[in-house]
Amino acid sequence: PDDQLQAGLQSATAPLFVFAKYPEPHPSLNPTVQVVLRPRPASLPTSPTALLRIATETLQRAFQDFRFVEPIGTAQVSGMPAAYMKAAYTLKTATGQSHKVLARTWLVPRGTFMFLIGMSGAAEGEDVAETEFASALRSIVIEE
């Protein structure tokens, strides 16, 4: 029930799930998919694109070279209204490595919750993973 889920999410920090293309540890950027479920504060707008704009502000502050590859726009995930964007930035690890990242993000509001679906991989080469990510997105089912 949503009230039980809401109570559990107040202290949750982990995604619902994360999976990667390669077993860890992996020597370079490992293409990953993660789905996060968060409460949607009543003070925030209900529009998927407005919510994604707010969520993206954190990324823009965190990565100096953050840039939109595809701007925030409308989408559908599992038949539900959603917002989508694709961005590029450089991820720097604690060990000093740098990776050019191509990230795709969908935000799907569902009642008092919102699903954030993130898929990221290399910005070029075989691990851009567009085919794998498209397949993963089609497999996601969100019930109303």
Binning pLDDT at 50, 70 and 90, where does residue 124 land? very high
Confidence (pTM)? 0.89
**pLDDT at 54 > cutoff 90:** yes
Alpha carbon separation from 80 to 6, 27, 36, 84 (Å, rounded)? 20, 37, 16, 12
Mean pLDDT of 109-133: 92
Top pLDDT among 5 and 43 is at: 43
Q: How many Cβ atoms sit within 10 Å of the Cβ of residue 66? A: 16
Please give the pLDDT value at position 16. Answer: 86
Top pLDDT among 70 and 45 is at: 70
Q: Which two tokens stand for residue 89?
A: 């930035």
Please return the burial class of 99, using the count of CB atoms within 10 Å of its CB with bins 0-12, 13-18 and 19+: middle
Please give the pLDDT value at position 143. Answer: 85
Task: Name the nearest CA neighbour of 103 among 49, 29, 25, 16.
Answer: 29
Please give the pLDDT value at position 12. Answer: 59
Q: Which two tokens stand for residue 111?
A: 């009642």
